[in-house]
Amino acid sequence: MTTDTPSSVSATETSKSSLADADFAADARQVTTLRGAATDYVNRLRGGDMGSLPALLGLLVLFIVFGTTTDTFFTKLNLANLTVQAAPICVLAMALIPVLLIGEIDLSAGVASGTGAAVTALAIVDKGFAWPLAVLAGVVVGAVIGVVIGNLVARLGIPSFVVTLSFFLALQGVMLLLIGQGGSVRFDQEVLRGLAIKNVPPTVGWISAVAIVALYGGLSLFSFRRKVARELAHPPLALVWLRIGALAVLVLGLTAYFNTNRSRNPVFPIEGIPYMIPVVIVILIALTFLLGRTSFGRHLYAVGGNAEAARRAGINVIYMRVMAFVLCSSLAAVAGILQAAYSGKVSPGSGGGNVLLYAVGAAVIGGTSLFGGRGLAVHGVIGGVVLATVDNGLPLLIDKSYANFIVTGGVLLLAASVDAISRRRRSASGV
C-alpha cells in the first residue's frame, strides 16, 4: 500500500498534462465564429430553451400595435410614465424569482408588498421615523413574513400554495387593522415620493449611462481575455462585442430619450431619467450577482433542479428553501414601497387584487419556469415591462376594464403554455 499510492499519484500528475489536450480534444472549448454561436442559439431554441425571446418579440408586437393604433402611446410623457408604472411590477417579479427557482410559489408576495409599504408609511406618518429607518422597518417586516412562510413550507412540509394563500388572506386583514377600514395613509415623504415623480439631472444621467456601458464592456472583455488565456470555454469575440454594442444602444438610447424635454408646457421642462429606474437597475444587478456568481445562488438552482442531489451534495436544503421565501418577501416589501411612491398612498387594498398575478405573470413571461430550476433576475424586468405595456397601452386602445383583465389573463396563460411546451421539448431533446 505505502509504495502504491505515491506512484499512482505521480502517474495521475503526468497523465494530467499529457492527456489534457490530446485526449480531451473532443471538448469544444469555444464556438469560434459568430455563425457557430448563432447555430448553437437556434439549436437551443429548437430544443425548447426559449429564454426571453418570446417576451421580447411580444414586446415588439405590442409596441407596433399600440404605436400604430393610438396617437398617445408613443408620446414621450406616456412612455416615461410607462417605465415608472413598470418598476414596481418588475421588482415584485424579481422578488418571486428565487421562490420560482426552487419550484415553489408565493401567492402572498403581493399583499406582503402592501404590508411592507403600510409599515413604512405608518412609521413615517405616525411615528415620525426618518425615511431610511422606515424603509428598513418595512423590509424587516417583509423578511419576518418570509421566515414564517419558509419554515411552514420547508420544515412543516405544508405545500407553499396553501401556506401563501393563507397569508394572502391573513395579511389583508393585518393591513385593514394597521390602516383602518376605508382609510389610507398618505405616502408623500419627499425622498421616497421623489422616486416616482422626480428625475435624475440629465448630466448625471449621461455620466452614469456611459459608466455602466464602460464597466460592462470592460468586465466582459477582461473575462473574455482571461478565459482565452486559461483555455476555458468562451464565446466568440464578435459575440462579446455584439452584446456590449446592444447594451450601449439600449442604455444610451434610453438616456438620450429621457434626457430630452417631454413636457407639454414649455415653461416647465420635464427631463431626465425617473429615479425609479436606477433603483430597479441596482436591484437587478444585485440579484443577478447573487443568483449567478455566488454559491448561495448556485445552491438555489440545485434545490430547484434536484433537491435530493442537493441534499446529498451537503447543501442544507431546508435553509435554502427558507431563504428563498425570506428573499422574496423582503424584496416584495421594496416593490410595495415603490408602488406606494408611484400612487402617493397606501390603502388596505394595496398589493391585493391582481398585483401578485401580474408579478408571477411577469416572471413567467420573461422566461422563468414555473417548474423550478430555470430563471434569471432579468426575466422579471423583461416580463414586467411587457405587462406594464399591456396595462398602459390597452386602455388607450379600448377604454374598457374588461378588455384589460381578459388580455392580461390571456397573456399569462400564453406564457405558461410556452413554459410548459418548452419543458416538454427540453425533456424530449435533452437540451
Partner 1 sequence: MTEPLLQLQGVNKSFGVVHVLHDVDFAVYPGQVTALVGDNGAGKSTLVKVIAGIYGRDSGEYHFEGRSVDVHGPRDVAALGVEVVYQDLALCDNLDIVQNMFLGREIKRGPVLDEAAMESRARETLASLSVRTVKSVRQPVASLSGGQRQTVAIAKAVLWNSRIVLLDEPTAALGVAQTRQVLDLVRRLADRGLGVVLISHNMTDVFEVADRITALYLGRVAADVPTSEVTHREVVELITAGRSDRHGLAAAAETATI
Residue pair 346/125 in contact (Cβ under 8 Å)? The answer is: no
Applying CB under 8 A, which of residues 193, 262, 321, 374 lies at the interface with partner 1?
374
Pick one of 190, 265, 268, 308: the residue that binds partner 1 (CB under 8 A): 308
Minimum distance between the CB of residue 353 and partner 1, rounded to whole angstroms? 33
Query: How many angstroms separate the CA atoms of 49 and 42, rounded?
Result: 9
Residues 6 or more apart whose Cβ sits within 8 Å of residue 222 = none
The DSSP letter of residue 163 is H
305 near partner 1, rule: CB under 8 A: yes
Convert residues 146-165 into a mask of x (bound to partner 1 by CB under 8 A) and - (unbound): --------------------
The count of residues interacting with partner 1 (CB under 8 A) is 49
Q: Which of 166, 261, 306, 343 binds partner 1 (CB under 8 A)?
A: 306
The cell for 67 is 404605436
Separation of alpha carbons 233 and 30, rounded Å: 5
Taking CB under 8 A as the criterion, the residue among 35, 127, 226, 400 binding partner 1 is 226
| Cβ proximity to partner 1, 199 vs 422, nearer residue | 422
Q: Which of 230, 266, 268, 402 binds partner 1 (CB under 8 A)?
A: 230
| Residue that the C-alpha cell 413571461 belongs to | 365
Is residue 431 a contact point for partner 1 (CB under 8 A)? Answer: yes
**Tell me, what amino acid is at 14?**
T
Tell the smallest beta-carbon distance from residue 367 to partner 1 (Å).
13
Binding mask 257-296 for partner 1 (x = CB under 8 A): ------------------------------------xxx-
Stretch that binds partner 1, among 123-131, 153-161, 205-213, 299-307 (CB under 8 A): 299-307
User: Residue 401 or residue 429: which is nearer to partner 1 going by CB?
Assistant: 429
Long-range CB contacts for residues 31-38, cutoff 8 Å, separation at least 24: 31/235, 31/236, 32/236, 33/236, 33/238, 34/236, 34/238, 34/239, 34/242, 36/236, 37/235, 37/236, 37/239
End-to-end CA distance of the chain: 44
Choice between 308 and 399, CB closer to partner 1: 308
| Nearer to partner 1 (CB atom), residue 22 or residue 267 | 22
Rounded (5°) CA angle 275-277-279:
80
In contact, 317 and 299? CB cutoff 8 Å: no
Which of the 8 DSSP states describes residue 274? Answer: B
Contact 146, 326 (CB under 8 A): yes
Report 29-88 residues binding partner 1 (CB under 8 A).
Answer: 29
Taking contact as CB under 8 A, which single stretch among the options 9-17, 149-157, 214-222, 322-330 is the one that binds partner 1?
A: 9-17
Beta strand extents in 132-228 (DSSP E only): 185-186
Does 227 participate in binding partner 1 (rule CB under 8 A)? yes
Answer for which of 315, 337, 356, 415 binds partner 1 (CB under 8 A) is 315
In the complex, what is the shortest distance from the CB of residue 419 to partner 1, in angstroms, rounded to a whole number?
A: 14
Could you give the count of Cα atoms lying within 13 Å of 288 in the half-sphere of its Cβ?
11
Q: Is 393 exposed, middle or buried, given 0-12, 13-18 or 19+ CB atoms closer than 10 A?
A: buried
Q: How far apart are CA 376 and CA 385, in angstroms?
A: 15
Q: Which stretch binds partner 1 (CB under 8 A): 12-20, 135-143, 244-252, 394-402?
A: 12-20
Per CB under 8 A, residues contacting partner 1 are 1, 4-5, 7-9, 11-12, 15-16, 19-20, 23-29, 226-227, 230-233, 293-295, 298-299, 301-302, 304-306, 308-310, 312-315, 373-374, 426-427, 429-431
